[in-house]
Amino acid sequence: QVQLVESGGGLVKPGDSLRLSCAASGRTFSRYAMAWFRQAPGKEREFVASIYWTGGSTAYSDSVKGRFTISRDGAKNTVNLQMNNLKPEDTAVYYCAARDAAYSNEYNYWGQGTQVTVSS
């Protein structure tokens, strides 16, 4: 069973940086696509960024492109989200997600989420 555990959230000021990590276990992830989603209060969950474990191809939402960077560490089995120049509108619960790209177009494994609050 795939397990995803996020860490690294917190309270920061506008313009600050924060790094989220997702520890993945339970499978060999070479076929997997990994992603970060977020959900702000009163809003639907939205896609933030994704990366293919093999090859490292990435994708970003327009709202974070140029500020956020997704990466993976094969040795540690972690997926990271480096967030720079944070804005108040980045405030949300951030979720790590995974899917076996050979079988599914939908992310069907989710972590419990980590809170990111950007406020002066």
Task: Indicate if the pLDDT at residue 22 is higher than 90.
Answer: yes
pLDDT at 27 over 90: no
Chain segment 35-91, per-residue pLDDT in tens? 999 999 999 999 999 999 988 899 999 999 999 999 999 899 999 999 999 999 999
Angstrom distance (rounded) from CA 50 to CA 102: 16
pLDDT at 35: 98
Give me the pLDDT at residue 14, please.
98
Q: Is the pLDDT of residue 30 over 90?
A: no
Residue 102 has pLDDT above 90, yes or no: no
Max Cα–Cα distance, the chain, nearest Å: 44
Distance from C-alpha of 45 to C-alpha of 22, rounded to nearest angstrom: 18
Q: What is the pLDDT of residue 24?
A: 96
Q: What would the mean pLDDT of 2-7 be, rounded to a whole number?
A: 96
For residue 93, what are its two tokens?
A: 């619960």
Instruction: List C-alpha distances in Å: 2 to 38, 50, 94, 98, 120.
Output: 20, 17, 18, 8, 37
Q: Per this entry, what is the length of the chain?
A: 120
